[in-house]
Each structure stands twice: as C-alpha cells, then as structure tokens.
Amino acid sequence: MPEVDLVQKFRFIAASCHHNRNQAVSEKSTIKLHPSWLAVLEEEFSKPYMATLKAFLAAQKHQGTVVYPAASNWFAAFNHTPFDQVKVVILGQDPYHGKGQAHGLCFSVLPGIDIPPSLRNIYKELQADLAIPIADHGCLSHWADQGVLLLNATLTVEHGNAGAHQGKGWEEFTDCAIRALNDKREGLVFMLWGSYAQKKGAFIDARRHLVLKAPHPSPLSAHRGFLGCGHFSKANTYLESRGVQPIDWQLPSRQRVLESMAG
C-alpha cells in the first residue's frame, strides 16, 4: 500500500517516538493510513486534541520513554482492515506494554511471543464455540485481513505502564473511527467485551448492526460469561444471513505465519 501523507501532521512523531532512537530516520517515512480510512479520518489530524496528543508523544521521546508499538504500527488495525471491508469490530483498551508484544492489533502478538492470558481464553471460547483447535501462536492478522477490525481505544502505551497514554487524545480519534462505521456502514458485528468496551461502544445503533456483549476475556472475568458466549458463531450466522462471507476464525499455523511474513 503506498504511503498516504497525513499532511505532515503526524510524520515527525514516527521519528521521535520509536523506542530505538537509532532507527529514527528509517521510521520517519513509515507512518501510513489506508486511503479508505484517511477519507473518513483526515479532518481529525487538524483538530486541537491531535495537537495535544502530538505534544505528549514528543515529550515522551524527550524524556527517553519507551513507547509501544513501533510508530509504523500505530495505525496497523486500519491498514489491515480497510474501512469498506470491515465486517466485525473487536474493541480493546490498551496495547500490550511488554517488550515485543504490541504490533497494532488488539489482543494480538507476533509469533514467538508468549500468548497472553486473555487471548488464551479467546482461543478456549473459539474451541468451545466452533471446535477450532487452539492456535500455537498469538498473531491475529489472519482475522484482520478478512475484515475483523482489531482496534484498541488507545494506540500507544509506555513500556511497563499500562494505561499511561489514556486520556491523551487517542480515545477521541478511535471514537471517531467507530462512529464512522456506525453511521456510514450497515450490518457490522461489534464484539464488546468488558465494561470499558461496552461504554465506548454505547452509541452503536443495534438496529443497524449486531452488538454482542460479554465480560472481558481476562482470567479475572472470563468465567463470568465470556466463556460460553458463542460470539464467533453468532457473528458468522449474522453475516451469512446478510449474504456476507463469514470469517474463517481458524488461524494458520505459526510456521505459515512466519513464512508469509518472510515472503
């Protein structure tokens, strides 16, 4: 996908906020936003909250703070899943804050990274719901590339400090993305897991879309109703009822993912 210049409004942050300063020059040209999303979200880059967010991220760099994910992955959810191809939306809260974990898709980690506990419970529910074997890795790009928008409310985080970038502007940006889907698309499936996602998605019109709610898949709450929720089969049943190709929830093997990344 060719780079879309965000009116020079965000590009400098890629250079200033990558956790490896030696890579700053190469990062400068790598922030991208898919044209379908740019058409919906471009005005957001000129709003005051975005200037505040830019200033905050620049200050993080000056303080030597390690920020995840890499700047080139801040908009990965949008680039994997173009606006007009979204079928399902899964809302997360923060990127993972451990080294090497976050790569721009909520709940997802790259092959070779330990599968986080919440994702393990997602896999357990998939197995119970659709008899899908538990994957040997945590990379969910196969879902994203089929139309599952894996969107965190906050697109960056400080190393080892969950929630450190909440309330800095990202939530307004991702709210705008969700509102655009709600208003301009029809027949989507929104999976809202946990009170945070349900509050963020409270405005979604259940007359136009299928809204599925359950507790968060965290080990602290999964037993309260996430396990057994049947969201994956319900999503596919709804999509098929509208003549839309269902999601293939079974992930390719770790080896196949690594080969596709290498290719």
How many C-beta atoms lie closer than 10 Å to residue 151's C-beta?
25
Contact at 8 Å (CB) between 251 and 149? Answer: no
Strands 189-193 and 210-214: parallel
**Any idea of the CA torsion for 8, 164, 122, 201, to the nearest 10 degrees?**
-70
Which of 94, 129, 145, 205 is an active site residue?
94
**Position of tokens 């990558």?**
18
- Report the distance separating Cα 256 and Cα 263, nearest Å: 10
Residue type, 169: G
Residue partners of 227: CB distance under 8 A and separation at least 6: 121, 124, 125, 128
How many C-beta atoms lie closer than 10 Å to residue 84's C-beta?
13
Q: Is 114 one of the catalytic residues?
A: no
- Please state whether the peptide bond connecting residue 69 to the residue before it is cis, i.e. omega within 30 degrees of 0: yes
Report the catalytic residues. Answer: 94
